[in-house]
Amino acid sequence: MLALNQYLAAALKQQRKDKQWSLDTAAKQTGVSKAMLGQIERGESSPTIATLWKIAGGFNTSLSTFLEPELAEQAQPEIRSADQLRQQPASDDMLVAILFPYDEKYGFEMYELTLLENYQRVSEPHEVGVSEHVIVTSGEMEVLANGQWNKLSQGQALRFTGDKPHGYRNLNKQAAVFHCLIHYSRNKSQQN
């Protein structure tokens, strides 16, 4: 498998090619500078997860599009280990393991996310029809949904629409680990 920066560079180039966008157009659509997009495409930059989420939003695609290719259809069940998949792009205080990259057939992607102590991130809205499902597996955290921070602890879950600003924070002295399933509306494939 390609190194993360190489895969990311190829995926970004492919997204621009598919949409027939110049770097200028991509910068306007994503809110990420033309210079930064160029560095990413050349494999010279390791963007944060927050930056990758902005890029994915601008291209109206999933975050996992830029981190890992879709899984090939398997005749047998596939076991994926978060410990083996976990990565920490750039200097973000969030560890990410893509448990299942986006698959058009199922309409979702699923992550294990680890928020280190005192981490907070507010995300831009996804397109209309996206829902997020958060299940805390360890520690305590808060989720911003519908303009309100909701405290969750191990074993608790929250579902919310992702088409509004939303976020995650861990104000504790120990890491918080959660699974996040992002479900895209059925017409997502028709939009691409």
Can you identify the CATH homologous superfamily of domain 82-191? Jelly Rolls (2.60.120.10)
pLDDT by residue (tens digit) across 11-45?
999 999 999 999 999 999 999 999 999 999 998 88
Domain segments of the chain: what residues? 4-66, 82-191
H-helix segments, the chain: 4-19, 23-30, 34-41, 49-58, 82-85, 188-191
* For residues 163-172, average pLDDT: 94
Sheet with 176-183: list strands edge to edge.
Answer: 94-103, 108-115, 176-183, 131-138, 157-161
Q: DSSP for 78-129?
A: ----HHHH-B--TT-SEEEEEEEEEETTTTEEEEEEEEPTTEEEEEPP--TT
Domain 4-66 fold is 434 Repressor (Amino-terminal Domain) (1.10.260)
pLDDT at 190: 42
Per-residue pLDDT for 178 more than 80? yes
For residues 28, 87, 168 and 8, what is the CA-based torsion angle, rounded to 10 degrees? 10
Q: What percent of the chain has pLDDT over 70?
A: 82
Per-residue pLDDT tens for 42-92?
Answer: 988 888 877 888 898 888 888 888 877 665 666 667 666 676 666 655 456
2: left (phi over 0), alpha (psi -120 to 50) or beta: beta
Q: What average pLDDT is seen over the chain?
A: 85
| CB neighbourhood size of 48 (10 A) | 16
Judged against a pLDDT cut of 80, whether residue 93 lies above it is answered with: no
Beta bridge partners of 111: 98, 180
Residue 112: per-residue pLDDT: 92
What pLDDT is stored for residue 21 in this prediction?
96
What's the rounded Cα separation, in Å, for the pair 74 and 128? 31
